[in-house]
Structure 1
Amino acid sequence: MRKQSFISGSYMHIEDNKVDVPEVSVLVHTFNQSEYIEQCLDSVCSQNTTFKYEVIVHDDCSTDDTTEILLAYKEQYPEKIRLVIQEQNKRSQGHRVISLSLPHAEGDYVAICEGDDYWIDEHKLQKQYDALQRHPNVDLCFHPAKQYRNKKFHSIINEYYSEETVIPFENVVEGRGGYMPTASLFIRKSSIYPFRDWFIERAPVGDTFIQALGSSRGGALFLSDSMSVYNRYSIGSATAGNLRKRSLEQIANQAENYRDCYNQLSVGLSESEKMSCRIALSQLIFDLSVKALDDGYIDLFKSLFDRAWPDKHKKSAFVYIVWLARYIHFCRPIVRKKLAHKRNLVVT
C-alpha cells in the first residue's frame, strides 16, 4: 500500500511503499549536517540482517543542503527510509528530538545514529539483535566507539570490558549520558516507549535518561566490538552546542529539571539504585555549577555548588581549588598575550 506525503501540524512526514512491519527501527537525527549525513545513511542502509529494518530520519528544519540529500536517499531507498522533515526547529523550542521520531517507529527494537556519526560494521544491527535474544531479561545493548575530532582518529571510548558483559543499572546511572556512545544504542522499544511524562516535559538531555530507562529492568548488555564512529564537536552536534554561553535562567532551569527527573526515575527503585541516582544528580549539578562559573554567574555557581557538595568541611577546601583552577584557566591566554606583546610575538 502506498501512502501519499502529507503535512501534519508543524512537520511534513513522508511515508512511501510500506509493505510489512520491520523488526528494527533505526532513528537518525540530523540538523545542518550536510557534510556528514551521506556517510551516516550509507552505513545505516548497508546493514546485513536476517530481519527487515526501517530507517526513520528526523530533520530538524535544516537550512543547508541536508534536506535535499535526504530526499535523494529517500528515492534511492524508498522501502527502507521514512522522513520526518520539520518546518520549524523543534530542539530550539525545547522538544526532545527522539520524542518526535520514535512515535513513528514500527519495530520492536530501536537503534540510534546521530546524523554526524556513522557505523563501521555492516553486521552491527544483527550482532546486537542476536545479543538481546540471548539475554531476554536485558533491554539495552551497546558497544565502544571510535572517537574522531576534526576528522582525525582520537581514541576508543566506552571500552569497559574485553568480552560480552551485563553491566548493572547503578553503573549506567552514575555514568550519566556519556556512559554509552549514542550511535551504539540498541534498545527494546517497550522499555522506553510510551514516554514518561517527565521525560517529555523535563528531561534536559535525552541520552542520559534513555540509557537509564533502557537499563532499569536488567542492566545493559555490553559488546566489546567497536562498531561506530563518534564525531565530537561536529557542526550541528549537541557537544558543539554545549560550548556556547547559556543564560543564567537556562542553567538554573536545567538544574531543576535534572532534580525533578532523577526524583521521578527513583520511584520504585531499590535503595542502592536510588543512591546511584543521587550520586548522578550531584555530579550533574556540580558540572552545571562550573558552567555557571565559566559563564560569569557567580551567585548561581555558589548556589549550585552548595547543592552538589553536601560535606561542608570538604566543600570549603574544594571550592577554593575549583575557583583557583578556573581562574588560572581564564587568565592563561591573557598572560600569554601580554607576554607575547612585550616580546613582539604574534600569538594565534
Structure 2
Amino acid sequence: MTAANLSRSFAAALLLGAACTPPARATSPPAQPSSAVAAAADDDPAAHPSFAVRVMGQGRPLILIPGLTYPGAVWDETVARYQSRYQCHVLSLAGFGGVAPAPARASFSETAPETGTESFLPAVREQLLAYIKTQKLDRPAIIGHSLGGFLSLWLSTAQPDAIGPLIIVDSLPFLAAIQNPAMTAEAAQPMAAGMRQQMRAGRMTAAQQRQLARGLVTDTARQSLLARWGQASDPASVAQAMYELYTTDLRANLGAIRQPALVLGAWAAYQPYGATLASTRAIFAAQYARLPQHRIEMSAAGRHFLMYDDASWFFQQTDAFLGANYAARK
C-alpha cells in the first residue's frame, strides 16, 4: 500500500467517501428521516438560510456542527450529556440529511459556484458568525465533526475573539493535502471540480450508502441511519461543500486562533490499507502544526464517527477538555 493510496483511503473516509463511488440517479428524493429540525423560538431562520438551529439546555453556549450529509441529530447523545450544563445550539446544514437546500443551491453552476452569493461554506461561516452576534453568545465553545470541524476552524480564523474553545472530531484544515502536503488550493481545483461534477450527477444508491457507512461506524443500526441520511441529502449541496473543502486551505491561518483546541482523530478504519496509529497521527500533526494551543488524541478503535464508535473515550476526552477550558457556570 503506497502512501498515496493510504492518503486517498483516509480522505475518502474523512469526507464520507462521497466522491469515491459513482452516484446513481434517483427518480425521486428518498423519504426524510424522522428527526425533524426546529429553529429556536427567538431566532429568525431567514437570517441564516444555509443552516437550521435547534437550541436545548441552559448554561454557557455550546455549538455543535455535524459533518457532510448529516443533520444535527448526530449529536443527540452529546446533547443529552451536556444540556444540563450548557445551552446547546445544534446546527443542521441546508441540503444535508433531509434538511431542505438553501435557495441558492438550485443555481450552482460550473462557471462561478465558489464565489459570491452562490458559495455554500463561506455563507455558512458568515451566517453563523452573525448568529453568534445576534444571539449574544459569549465566545461559545464549538464541537465540530468532519466538515463541522473544518467550519469550526474557519470560524476561529475569521473572528478569533468571537469563538471559544474548539473540539475538532476527525477533521483537517486542508483535506486535499492528505495526498500531498505541498498541495495548494489552486492546484486542487481541477480535481475538486471533477469530483463536484461527478457528485452532482445524482444520489448514491441505498446499497452504495450502506457500503460507505460500514467504513464510518461499526454498529449496524448506526450504519443504516447514516445511509438513510446520505440518501436524503441534496446532491448539489453535497457536491459544492466537497468542492469548497478541497479548495480551501486553512493551515497558514491557524496561527490566528487564540483559543485552546482538542483534536480527536480516528485511524482504525484505515488499518486494512496499511495505516498505523503513528502514520495517521503524523498526518494530523503536520496539518495542525501551526495551531498554537492544541492537543491531538487518537482513538484506539473508533472509526470516523467517534461519538458513536468510541463513546466512552469520546466523552472522557470532551468532559476533561471542557472542564479545564470551559467549565459550566453554577
TM-score normalised to the size of structure 1?
A: 0.27
- The structure that is strand-richer by fraction is 1
TM-score normalised to the size of structure 2?
A: 0.28
Larger radius of gyration: 1
